[in-house]
Amino acid sequence: MVGVTDLVVYDIAELAVGPGTDEPMETIENAAVAVEDGTVVSVGDTDDVTEEHPPSAADEAHDAAGRAVLPGFVDPHTHALFAGDRSDEFEAKLRGKSYQEILSGGGGILRTVDAVRTADEETLLANLLSQLDVMLEHGTTTVEVKSGYGLDTETELRMLRVIGRADEQHPVDVVPTFMGAHAVPQGMDTDEYVDHVVEEQIPAVAEQGIASFCDVFCEEDVFSVAQSRRVLETGMAHGLTPKVHAEELAHIGGTQLAAEVGATSADHLLHSTEDDVDGLVEAGVVPVLLPGTAFGLGAEYADAGMMLDRDAPVAIATDFNPNCHSHSMGFAQSLACVGMGMTPAEALLASTHNAAEALDLPARHGTLREGAPADLVVLDAPSFVHVPYQYGVNVVETVWKDGERVQG
C-alpha cells in the first residue's frame, strides 16, 4: 500500500545512517529516506524506498543527486548564550597570556558575567537566537547550552529562561544545562560561593524545572573535586543530571568524579589518563572532546586514540563560547581528524549518535534509522568525508528539522 509521505529525499549519493556493526558509520549509496510526521519511516536503496513512498505522491520531494545526506549534528557542549565581546583576549592569548592569567585578572568568564548581568532578557534572547541561526546554517539541529555567566540566582535563572524560550522559538532543539559553578564571582570566597550554589541556585532552578543537567568547572584554582562533588550531588538530589568539565587545564580528578557520580558526560579531558578513561567506560560516561578549545588555547589535544582503543563512545562538541568562537561542528570534525587522529567516520559518529548519548537523548537520535527524528543535512558534496576535509568551509546545503525544511 502506498502511504502519504511528508518528505522523500532520493538519489542520495551517500547516506550516513548511523553506527554500523563493523564500522563507525554505516553508509548506503544511491539511497533514499522517507519521512512521516517528522520521523524517518524508511531508509535504504532509492528504488526500494521510492516504490513504497513515490516522490510524486509526497508533500515534498528532494532530488539529492550527487550529494551526501547525514543526520543533523548534535553539539553537546556550548556556552552559546552570552553578551559582550572578548576578541581582545584572543589577541592577548596570541601575545602569550594564559587563560588562567586572564581569568585571575578579572577577564575571561568574569568579564562575560559583567556583560550578561547587565543585559536584559530580550537582548540575551536575541543574542542566542542569532547564534542558533549560524549553528543551523552549519548543520547543527540539536545543541546543549549552559548557563554560568550569571553566578547569582537572578541572572542564572534569567539565562535558563532565555535558553528555554530560544528552544521554543527556534527550529534547533536546545538542551538546557545549569552551570552556576562555572567560576567564582569577584568578592566571594570559593566555599562561600559553593554554599550559595547549593543552597540557593540549585533549589531555585529545580523549582522552576528549567534545566536538565548540572555542570561544574572542576579545575585547579576553580572548583576542587570535593566542591564539585557537593554541587553535583546537590543537583542530583534536585533531579539534575550531572556533567563535568574535567582535566581541561590540569589533572585534578574530575574524570574520576564523573565516573563516581554516574555523570552523563565528562568533557574536555585534555589531561585524562588511561585509568580515568577505563573508569568512564565502566560507568557508562560519554567522553566529550572539545578540539576547538585546545586549538584556541594552543594546548595539546585530548588523547582520542587512547579513548577509542578502549571502546569509549567519544563525542565531540564546539564548546562555542567567547573564548572559543566557533559555531561549526564541521570545524570541530576537521580538528578531530587532523589534531586528534580520528577518522572522518569516527568524527561524524562523535558529532551525531555519540553526541546524542552525551545529552541522554532517546535511542536513534543522531541517526537516520527508522524511528529517528527526521533531522537531515544535505551537503554540497558527495560524501560525509567532505565535512572535515573542506576545513574552514561550510559544505551544508539544506537542513530539515523534524521533517520541516529549515535551511537552504
Query: What spatial distance separates the first Cα and last Cα of the chain, rounded to whole Å?
Result: 32
Least separation in angstroms between CB 248 and ligand NIG: 6
For ligand NIG, the closer CB: 13 or 151: 151
For ligand NIG, the closer CB: 79 or 327: 79
Residue showing cell 562561600:
192
Judge whether 340 and 33 are in contact, CB under 8 Å: no
**Which amino acid is present at 239?**
G
Among 199-207, 224-232, 315-323, 344-352, which window interacts with ligand NIG (CB under 6 A)? 315-323
Least separation in angstroms between CB 250 and ligand NIG: 12
Which DSSP category does 324 fall into?
A: B
Least separation in angstroms between CB 112 and ligand NIG: 5
Residue showing cell 552559546:
80
Least separation in angstroms between CB 131 and ligand NIG: 14
Q: Counting contacts by CB under 6 A, is residue 322 touching ligand NIG?
A: yes
Kindly give, in sequence order, each residue whose CB lies less than 8 Å from that of residue 224, ignoring residues fewer than 6 positions away: 190, 218, 252
Judge whether 302 and 291 are in contact, CB under 8 Å: yes
Q: Which residue in 217, 295, 301, 320 binds ligand NIG (CB under 6 A)?
A: 217
Size of the site for ligand NIG (CB under 6 A): 13
Which has the closest alpha carbon to 8: 407, 374, 396, 379?
Answer: 374
Residue showing cell 542520495:
12
Three-state DSSP at 300 gives coil
Three-state DSSP at 195 gives helix
Q: Closest residue (Cβ) to ligand NIG?
A: 323
User: What is the C-alpha to C-alpha distance for residues 296 and 291, in angstroms, rounded to an integer?
Assistant: 9
User: What is the C-alpha to C-alpha distance for residues 374 and 142, in angstroms, rounded to an integer?
Assistant: 12
Instruction: Annotate 123-172 with DSSP letters as a single string.
Output: HHHHHHHHHHHHHHHTTEEEEEEE--S--SHHHHHHHHHHHHHHHHHSSS
Q: Which residue in 14, 75, 156, 248 binds ligand NIG (CB under 6 A)?
A: 248
User: What is the C-alpha to C-alpha distance for residues 277 and 284, in angstroms, rounded to an integer?
Assistant: 10
Among 41-49, 58-66, 104-112, 381-389, which window interacts with ligand NIG (CB under 6 A)? 104-112
Q: Counting contacts by CB under 6 A, is residue 109 touching ligand NIG?
A: yes
For ligand NIG, the closer CB: 256 or 293: 293
Among 44-52, 188-196, 317-325, 376-384, which window interacts with ligand NIG (CB under 6 A)? 317-325
Q: Counting contacts by CB under 6 A, is residue 213 touching ligand NIG?
A: no
Task: Please list every residue from 63 through 82 that binds ligand NIG, using CB under 6 A.
Answer: 79
Kindly give, in sequence order, each residue whose CB lies less than 8 Å from that of residue 384, ignoring residues fewer than 6 positions away: 14, 16, 25, 27, 68, 70, 344, 345, 348
Q: Counting contacts by CB under 6 A, is residue 319 touching ligand NIG?
A: yes
Residue showing cell 581528524:
337
Among 38-46, 107-115, 133-141, 400-408, which window interacts with ligand NIG (CB under 6 A)? 107-115
Q: Counting contacts by CB under 6 A, is residue 321 touching ligand NIG?
A: yes
Least separation in angstroms between CB 78 and ligand NIG: 9
Least separation in angstroms between CB 323 and ligand NIG: 3
For ligand NIG, the closer CB: 109 or 314: 109
Least separation in angstroms between CB 318 and ligand NIG: 10
Q: Counting contacts by CB under 6 A, is residue 147 touching ligand NIG?
A: no
Dihedral sign for Cα atoms in the order 189, 192, 198, 200: negative
Which residues form the interface with ligand NIG (CB under 6 A)? Answer: 79, 108-109, 112, 217, 245, 248, 293, 319, 321-324
